[in-house]
């Protein structure tokens, strides 16, 4: 087991690693073993304010650099991240719990945002608009928005940071970052990498500490022009309300309640394999995880049999074991939530066909068995609220329209998946699903080169793709009279 020294200086402001001014620290726990890994600095609004000041001062010079200069630094960060992949993956697994193979995949994915935005930095084009007046020339110039506050979650402690930092830096913005208290070590390592490749001081600042006071400071600070956040819809709403006074721009990746629809013309092995991967990856703690599966009645028995067989073969274990397929949940509250959803469903008539309780393996951590539920109805919490755990309800349907209606019957709109071998059905259903991301025979849509983001209460804006960098710019329109 990796044992870490105390990381008392985890706050990074204006190029300096600092302790919290009040001397406070926060323990970081391994969710599989419940060991305290280390303690990190626990700052508050004092550090949050200093970080904004540093980022504001650094903005003028950083935004004046050429796109090529910024691109080179991002490319160096990409290379360095991959160079340290094993070490980063091990740290990530230790504080977050996911199996090592998933942690390695996350580091690859996290690094790919540095690569993609190293490239996109050079392609942040403006526009010349054909004018209706021959004495005028009209143009649109993208300019960096200013200081960006990034607040990130623990479920993807590396890629949720780079997905925000890379486009922000590429566009010429400076950043203040607050990672989740559960996973500050991965954030620390990423900022260290940026420091090592030579990002100028003040351009990236890291504040580990109290979410509420740091969040308040950044919402109220006039210099923070954009808050980019990934996390719960509840906190997203708070940030929106709190940012109203300064009319800040917001980019929000919030909760989801992803449906999978399996049609009777689908490749059933593929559908079962992908359903398994979608639900149980990261122990169900992914905002685009399958939250409910609708299976066409004619294939219901076959599909259930295939899925159950695959679930049976999952190896529950501490993430650090190479053979682990499913690790612990992040904390006790996460286990309680799974239990609450399960009890509510069973009490309302659902049946557990696999799993259904805490895993009684050799570790004291937050493990829960992968669990399959049938006889579910719309009235159950699991069918409406994000469980964020390894609990999967399945429901049969008869007609395509019925499945689409049920899939859309939610205030969320992040990701939805369909399995079918008919191109007609695939296109028809895709168009009707009210979601920002659709997977057709695929449950891994999140890649650096494509725009990720939800509709309805799942968020605002896009991350990734050529669109992702536009969250971090203002479009300046120039109308020029000429003789
Ligand atoms: P989760 O419930 O999955 O932990 P949250 O939305 O609570 O999701 O957390 C996502 C991020 O938001 C974390 O970095 C967390 O510390 C931060 N956060 C939580 N509450 C607030 C708040 N009131 N203001 C600002 N940030 C917050």
Place of tokens 């393996």: 361
Are 33 and 3 in contact by the 8 Å Cβ rule? The answer is no
Flag whether pLDDT at 184 surpasses 70.
yes
Atom of ligand 1 nearest to the CA of 181: 16
Rounded to whole angstroms, how far apart are CA atoms 1 and 207?
Answer: 27
- Measure Cα distances from 217 to 8, 57, 74, 245 in Å: 22, 17, 28, 13
Instruction: Please check whether residues 198 and 295 belong to one and the same domain.
Output: no
Which pLDDT value is given to residue 312?
A: 98
Q: What is the pLDDT of residue 1?
A: 44
Domain assignment present for residue 360? The answer is: yes
CA atoms of 227 and 249, how far apart (whole Å): 7
For β-strands 36-41 and 147-151, DSSP reports them as unpaired
Ligand 1 centroid to Cα of residue 343, in Å, is: 26
DSSP label of 463: B
Tell me: pLDDT of 2 over 60: no
**Ligand 1 pocket check for 212: Cβ under 6 Å:** yes
**Cβ(359)–Cβ(328) under 8 Å?**
no
The answer on pLDDT for 289 being more than 90 is yes
> Cβ neighbours of residue 246 under 8 Å, at least 6 residues apart?
219, 220, 221, 222, 224
Ligand 1 centroid to 236 CA: how many Å? Answer: 8
270 and 337 part of one domain: yes
Q: How confident is the model at residue 7 (pLDDT cuts 50, 70, 90)?
A: confident
Residue in the block written with tokens 């612990």: 328
Q: Is residue 358 part of a domain?
A: yes
Q: Is the dihedral of CA 317, 321, 325, 327 positive or negative?
A: positive
Could you identify the atom of ligand 1 that is nearest to the CA of residue 151? 14
Task: Write down the pLDDT at residue 8.
Answer: 80
Looking at the fold, whether 331 and 301 belong to one and the same domain comes out as yes
Q: Please give the distance, rounded to the nearest whole angstrom, from the Cα atom of residue 238 to the centre of ligand 1.
A: 10
Phi-psi region of 365 (alpha: psi -120 to 50; beta: other; left: phi over 0): beta
In the chain, the largest separation of any two C-alpha atoms, in whole Å, equals 81
250 with 267, same domain: the answer is no
Domain span at 276: 258-440
> How confident is the model over 130-155, as a mean pLDDT?
98
Half-sphere exposure of 57 (CA within 13 A, CB side): 12
Q: pLDDT digit string (tens) for 204-214? A: 999 999 999 99
The span from the CA of 265 to the CA of 270, in Å, is 12
pTM reported for the whole predicted model: 0.98
Paired strand residues for 395: 294
Residue 1 in domain: no
Q: Are residues 229 and 249 in the same domain?
A: yes
Question: Rounded to an integer, what distance in angstroms lies between the CA atom of residue 151 and that of residue 187?
Answer: 11
Give 211 Cα–ligand 1 centroid separation in angstroms: 6
How many folded domains does the chain comprise? 2
What is the rounded average pLDDT of the residues 229-255? Answer: 96
Is residue 182 located within the same domain as residue 266?
no
Q: Is the CB–ligand 1 distance for residue 219 below 6 Å?
A: no
Which region, left, alpha or beta, applies to residue 173 given φ > 0 means left and ψ of -120 to 50 means alpha?
Answer: beta
Q: Quick check: CB of 215 below 6 Å from ligand 1?
A: yes
Closest residue CA from atom 27 of ligand 1:
211
Q: Determine, yes or no, domain membership for 74.
A: yes
**Distance of alpha carbon 442 from alpha carbon 125, whole angstroms:** 32
**Over pLDDT 70: what percentage of the chain?**
99
**Does ligand 1 have an atom closer than 6 angstroms to the CB of 211?**
yes
Q: State whether the beta carbon of 231 lies less than 6 angstroms from ligand 1.
A: yes
Q: Which CATH number is 367's domain given?
A: 3.40.309.10
Of 36, 243, 75, nearest to 151 (Cα)?
Answer: 243
Pair (236, 271) in one structural domain: no
Kindly state whether residue 386 falls inside one of the protein's structural domains. yes
186 token code pair: 């991965």
Q: Cα Rg for the chain, rounded, in angstroms?
A: 23
Q: Quick one: 269 and 326 in the same domain?
A: yes
Enumerate the active-site residues. 253, 287
277 φ, ψ (degrees, to nearest 5):
-65, -40
Q: Do both 153 and 292 map to the same domain?
A: no
CATH number of the domain residue 18 falls in: 3.40.605.10
Q: Is 232 in the pocket of ligand 1 (CB under 6 A)?
A: yes
Residue 26 bridge partners (DSSP): 40
Mean pLDDT across the chain: 97
pLDDT of residue 101: 98
pLDDT tops 70 at residue 42: yes
Spatial contact of 472 and 149, defined as CB atoms under 8 Å apart: no
Check whether residue 396 and residue 427 sit in a common domain. yes
The reply to whether 80 and 213 lie within a common domain is: yes
Determine whether the shortest distance from the Cβ of 152 to ligand 1 is under 6 A.
yes
Mean pLDDT of 150-174: 98
Residue 327 falls inside a structural domain: yes
Is 191 within a domain? yes
478 close to 141: Cβ distance less than 8 angstroms: yes
For residues 366 and 63, give the distance between their C-alpha atoms in angstroms, rounded to a whole number.
44
Ligand 1 pocket: which of 235, 386, 457 to mutate (most atoms within 8 A of CB): 235
Indicate if ligand 1 lies below 6 Å from the C-beta of 459. no
ipTM, two decimals: 0.98
Partners of 228 in the β-ladder = 150, 251
C-alpha to C-alpha distance for 204 and 308, rounded to whole angstroms: 46
pLDDT digits (tens, 9 = 90+) for 358-394: 999 999 999 999 999 999 999 999 999 999 999 999 9
**pLDDT digit string (tens) for 410-439?**
999 999 999 999 999 999 999 999 999 999
CA distances from 149 to 86, 154, 250 (A): 29, 17, 10
The whole-angstrom separation of Cα 251 and Cα 215 is 15
Q: Identify the bridge partners of residue 419 per DSSP, sorted by sequence position.
A: 262
Nearest CA residue ID for atom 9, ligand 1? 231
Same domain for 67 and 127: yes
The atom number, within ligand 1, closest to the CA of 242 reads 24
Query: Would 448 be classed as within a structural domain?
Result: no
């Amino acid at each position: 087991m990796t044992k870490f020294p105390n990381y008392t200086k985890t706050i990074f402001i204006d190029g300096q690693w600092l302790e919290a001014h009040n001397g406070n620290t926060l323990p970081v726990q391994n969710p599989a073993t419940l060991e305290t890994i280390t303690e990190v600095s626990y700052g508050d609004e004092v550090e949050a304010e200093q970080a904004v000041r540093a980022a504001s001062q650094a903005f003028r010079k950083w935004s004046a650099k050429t796109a090529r200069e910024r691109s080179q630094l991002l490319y160096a960060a990409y290379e360095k991240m991959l160079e340290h992949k094993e070490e980063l993956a091990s740290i990530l697994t230790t504080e977050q719990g996911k199996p090592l193979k998933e942690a390695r995949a996350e580091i690859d994915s996290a690094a790919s945002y540095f690569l993609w935005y190293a490239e996109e930095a050079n392609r942040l084009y403006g526009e010349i608009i054909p004018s209706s007046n021959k004495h005028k020339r009209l143009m649109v110039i993208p300019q960096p928005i200013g200081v960006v506050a990034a607040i990130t979650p623990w479920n993807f402690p590396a890629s949720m940071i780079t997905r925000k930092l890379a486009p922000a830096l590429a566009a010429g913005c400076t950043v203040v970052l607050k990672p989740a208290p559960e996973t500050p070590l991965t954030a620390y390592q990423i900022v260290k990498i940026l420091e090592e490749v030579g990002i100028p001081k003040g351009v990236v600042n890291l504040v580990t500490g109290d979410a509420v006071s740091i969040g308040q400071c950044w919402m109220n600070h006039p210099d923070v022009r954009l808050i980019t956040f990934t996390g719960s819809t509840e906190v997203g709403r708070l940030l929106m309300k709190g940012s109203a006074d300064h009319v800040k721009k917001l980019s929000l990746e919030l909760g989801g309640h992803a449906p999978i629809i399996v049609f009777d013309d689908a490749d059933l092995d593929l559908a079962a394999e992908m359903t398994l991967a979608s639900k149980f990856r990261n122990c169900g703690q992914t905002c685009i995880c399958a939250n409910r599966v609708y299976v066409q009645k004619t294939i219901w028995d076959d599909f259930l049999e295939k899925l159950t067989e695959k679930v049976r073969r999952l190896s529950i274990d501490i993430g650090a074991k190479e053979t682990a397929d499913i690790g612990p949940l992040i904390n006790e509250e996460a286990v309680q939530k799974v239990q609450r959803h399960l009890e509510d469903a069973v009490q309302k008539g659902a049946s557990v066909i696999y799993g259904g309780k805490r895993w009684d393996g050799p570790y004291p951590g937050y493990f829960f068995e992968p669990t399959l539920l049938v006889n579910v109805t719309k009235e159950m919490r699991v069918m409406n609220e994000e469980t964020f755990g390894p609990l999967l309800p399945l429901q049969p349907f008869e007609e395509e329209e019925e499945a689409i209606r049920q899939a859309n019957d939610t205030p969320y709109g992040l990701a939805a998946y369909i399995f079918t071998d008919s191109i007609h059905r695939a296109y028809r259903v895709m168009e009707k699903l009210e979601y920002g991301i659709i997977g057709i025979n695929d449950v891994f849509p999140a890649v650096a080169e494509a725009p990720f983001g939800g509709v309805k209460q799942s968020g605002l804006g896009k991350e990734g793709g050529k669109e992702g960098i536009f969250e971090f710019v203002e479009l300046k329109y120039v109308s020029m009279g000429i003789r």
